[in-house]
């Protein structure tokens, strides 16, 4: 999987990079997820935190550009918001993706 594929699949990742596992000598992709205060539309699903979800039209390259030091342009992203319409299905637990509900929609703010 390439960087661009990962970034298209995971619009909520903060950073992703190739990492070498020292003991095994293998290279894998690692990533970090920025979490925010819970959004009220997710309150009945999960109360602890929500991932920062980028708008579909976000310029990923701008966000990840280490030369771009004007972070004020990104401050709005730290406010919990649903920036895209979502189709959601509740699962039993993260380690088992067994659905326990029918799909439903959460409308963007």
- Answer whether residue 38 is part of any domain: yes
Instruction: List for the chain the helix, strand, coil content (%; round to 5).
Output: 20, 30, 50
> Residues 71-103: pLDDT tens digits?
787 888 888 889 889 888 888 877 777 888 898
- Answer whether residue 10 is part of any domain: yes
> Residues 6-28: pLDDT tens digits?
444 444 444 555 666 666 677 77
Number of structural domains found in the chain: 1
Tokens of 26: 């293998």
Q: Which domain holds residue 52?
A: 3-83
pLDDT of 37 strictly over 60: yes
Give the bridge partners for 105, in sequence order.
Answer: 87
């Amino acid at each position: 999987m390439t960087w661009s594929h990962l970034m298209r699949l995971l619009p909520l990742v903060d950073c992703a990079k190739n990492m070498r596992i020292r003991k095994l000598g293998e290279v894998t992709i690692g990533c970090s997820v920025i979490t925010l205060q819970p959004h009220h539309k997710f309150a009945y699903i999960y109360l602890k935190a929500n991932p920062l979800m980028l708008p579909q039209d976000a310029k990923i390259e701008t966000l990840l550009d280490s030369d771009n030091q004007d972070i004020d342009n990104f401050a709005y992203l730290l406010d919990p918001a649903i920036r895209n319409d979502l189709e959601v299905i509740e699962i039993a637990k993260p380690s088992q993706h067994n659905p326990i509900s029918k799909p439903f929609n959460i409308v963007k703010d």
